[in-house]
Amino acid sequence: MTWLNPLLVRTLWWGTGVALLATAGLVAAVIAFGVLMARPVPVVIGSPPPDLHGEDVGISSASGALLRGWFIAGRPGSGAVVLMHGVRSNRLSMVARARLLNAAGFSVLLFDFQAHGESVGARITFGQLEGMDASAAVAFVQSRLPVERVGAIGTSLGGAAALLGPAPLTVDALVLESVYPDIETAVADRIRSTLGPFFGAILAFPLEELFERLLPSVLRIDPAKLRPIDHIAEVRAPVMVASGERDDHTTIAEATALFARARDPKVFWAVPGAGHVDLEAYAPEEYHRRVLPFLINALQAR
C-alpha cells in the first residue's frame, strides 16, 4: 500500500492549497466589502427646493467635517426637527419629511453627514464619527432657536448616530427608523441577505467575525463603539422606534430588542410589508398619521 503515500501527500497539499486560497479569497472579499461600504459618497446638491424657502448653512462638527445643510424656518413656538439620513445617502432623501414637518409649523434642519453629500470626510464610519455630526446639528438648532423644543428623526445610519455619541442626543423627542442594534448584527444580516438563506446561514457568523476583526486595522473603526442598543436607555425624551416587518437588514426582532431597552414613554411601529426602505415613501399616509402626531405632542403641546 506504499503506492498510496505520494497520492495522499499530493491530495493533502492540494487540499491545503485550496483552503488557503479560499481563506485568502474570503479575507479579500471582506476587506473589499468594508472598503466599498466605507468609501465617501460626495454629491453636488445645490440650493434647496424653492417651496421650502430654505437657507444654506454650514455646521462645524467634532468629526472634522464642515457639514452642509439647509435650515427651514417654521412658526415661532412650534418646535424644530433635525432630519438625519441613512448610509450612502444625503439630505435629499429627507425632503419629503421636511415638507411634512414644515407644513405643520416646525422649523427643520436637513444636513449631510461627514463623507456624504456636500460634507467632506475620509470615510463612512457607520455612526462613530457621524454621532459627532448629529450632536453638532442638534446644537446648531438649539443655538439658533434657544426657546424651541427640538426633536430628531434618524433613519438607519442617522438613527444610529443619534444614539452613539459622544452621547445620545439631548432632544425632546426622537424617532428612530430601521436602526441596527449593533454593528455585528448589522453586518451578519447583510451577509445573509446577500448570500441567500443557505450560504448565508453557513457563512454569516465567520464572515462577520472576520469583518469585525478587520474594522480597527483596515477602517480604523472600533466595533465596541457601534452598539446603539447599549445607549438607547440613556435617552430621556419620548422615543418612537419604527421598522419594516420584512426588513432583512435590521429585522423586526432586532428592532423590538432595541425598543425594549428604551425608557418610557415610547412607541413602536412595525410597518407591514416594508423592507429596509424609506418608511415615509413606503407608507406615507400611515407615516403622517403616526409620526407627525408623535412629534406634535412632544414638541408643540404646552
Query: Domain of 56: which CATH number?
Result: 3.40.50.1820
Clarify whether residues 89 and 169 are in a common domain: yes
* Full domain range(s) for residue 294: 47-182+226-299
Q: How confident is the model at residue 23 (pLDDT cuts 50, 70, 90)?
A: very low
Clarify whether residues 54 and 117 are in a common domain: yes
Q: What is the pLDDT, as a whole number, of residue 8?
A: 55
Task: Find out whether 148 and 140 touch, Cβ atoms under 8 Å.
Answer: no
SS3 state at 266: strand
Q: Tell whether the model's pLDDT for residue 29 goes beyond 60.
A: no
Q: What is the pLDDT, as a whole number, of residue 34?
A: 63
Clarify whether residues 65 and 99 are in a common domain: yes
Domain termination site, one of 219, 240, 266: 219
Cα(100)–Cα(285) distance, integer angstroms: 11
Average pLDDT over residues 107-133: 97
Q: What is the pLDDT, as a whole number, of residue 22?
A: 47
Clarify whether residues 34 and 136 are in a common domain: no
pLDDT (tens digit per residue) in 187-231? 888 878 877 776 667 667 777 777 777 777 767 788 889 999 999
Clarify whether residues 190 and 237 are in a common domain: no
Clarify whether residues 175 and 66 are in a common domain: yes
Instruction: Please report the beta strands in the chain, taking only residues with DSSP state E, as ranges in sequence order.
Output: 41-42, 55-60, 66-72, 80-84, 107-111, 116-117, 150-155, 173-177, 239-244, 266-271
Clarify whether residues 74 and 172 are in a common domain: yes
Our count of domains for the chain comes to 2
Domain termination site, one of 219, 236, 264: 219
Clarify whether residues 70 and 107 are in a common domain: yes
Average pLDDT over residues 261-286: 98
Question: What residue spans of 75-129 are helical by DSSP H?
Answer: 95-103
| 151, β-bridge pairs | 81, 173
Q: Tell whether the model's pLDDT for residue 16 goes beyond 90.
A: no
Clarify whether residues 149 and 233 are in a common domain: yes
- Going from the C-alpha of 300 to that of each of 36, 104, 118, 147, 223, the distances in angstroms are 42, 10, 32, 12, 38
What cell numbers appear for 261 in the block?
431597552
Clarify whether residues 96 and 230 are in a common domain: yes
Q: What is the pLDDT, as a whole number, of residue 13?
A: 55
How much is the mean pLDDT over the chain?
89
Clarify whether residues 127 and 83 are in a common domain: yes
What cell numbers appear for 32 in the block?
473589499
Clarify whether residues 233 and 110 are in a common domain: yes
Cα(177)–Cα(290) distance, integer angstroms: 13
